[in-house]
Amino acid sequence: MAVKNRTVFEYPKDQSYFCTHGLGLLSKPSKAALQNALDAWRKRGVLAWGDSWGGLAGFVRARIATLLGANTCEVGVCDTTTLNLIKVLNASLDLQPRRRVILTEQCNFPSDLYALQSVAKARNLELRCVAREQLMESIDETVAVLALTHVNYLDAFKTPMKSLNARARHMGVLNVWDLSHSVGAMRISCEDDGVDFAVGATYKYVCGGPGSPEPCEDPAGAALQPHRSLQRRPAELHTRGTRALRLLGVM
């Protein structure tokens, strides 16, 4: 997904910028949009909700859905990436009450590992961390949730999402993905790759700016809500899934 026009962005003076994985650059259209929002606030006050900002949530969801290869109705923009990860982890674990293991890789993003550790401890579950090369063979009938990062933050390794999800589905395991370092940087198709849940960041390659909806340590995050593929699971699982979705406030 190469940028066709570099002049769209504001570049720090006298710098070659290679840190979009930390914070994307300011785009000139974004600068104008922010000023328009401030002008609407100044001129219209509370009335700006109705005539300027009311439809923005749906607009943003639709744009992010395109980047994720998902349906707009499956996407929510809220909270921080870590909070969203904790929410979808708990929702997915509620769907798997008879299983006691969360599976991840040893080199997962640090704050993701902290979230996984916290959820596992709170629910008295086992967090099983394995080497990247052992992931496929480690997906078995004891695992409730497979929780991974799509692109590794250290070496940019792209985890084989589709094949791991296929193995997880075969073993009755739900998957949760962090797309923070891939959304906006490469093509993603949650629909085609069998994603059940995902979270991600908009302040990195989507260039949403500091505090924009989504990241991992402290900023805000976008959560892909449980995928329609859950509807193709056994009836009992779908019923529990509907209950969990209501708890998340998305139904």
Distance CA 86, CA 189 (A): 23
Beta carbons of 75 and 64 less than 8 angstroms apart: yes
Confidence of residue 247 (pLDDT cuts 50, 70, 90): very low
Looking at the structure, give the CATH architecture of the domain made up of residues 57-248: 3-Layer(aba) Sandwich (3.40)
For 50-91, the pLDDT digits (tens) are 887 888 888 888 888 888 888 888 888 888 889 999 999 999
pLDDT at 251: 32
Residue 175, helix vs strand vs coil: strand
Calpha distance 198→178 (Å, rounded): 6
pLDDT for 2:
52
Distance CA 203, CA 28 (A): 15
Q: Is 79 left (phi over 0), alpha (psi -120 to 50) or beta?
A: left
How far apart CA 229 and CA 47 sit, in angstroms, is 40
pLDDT at 174 over 50: yes
135: pLDDT strictly greater than 90:
yes
Please give the full DSSP string across 67-89, using - where no structure is assigned.
HHTS-GGGEEE-S-HHHHHHHHH
| Nearest alpha-carbon partner for 212 in 39, 26, 54 | 26
Judge whether 137 and 105 are in contact, CB under 8 Å: no
Q: What is the pTM of this model?
A: 0.81
Of the candidate ranges 5-9, 215-219, 232-236, the one whose mean pLDDT is the lowest: 215-219
Q: Is 200 helix (H, G, I), strand (E, B) or coil?
A: strand
Q: Which residues pair with 221 in a beta bridge?
A: 214
The tens digit of pLDDT for each residue in 195-209 reads 999 998 887 877 787
Residue 103 to residue 140: CA distance in whole angstroms: 10
Sequence letter at residue 81? T
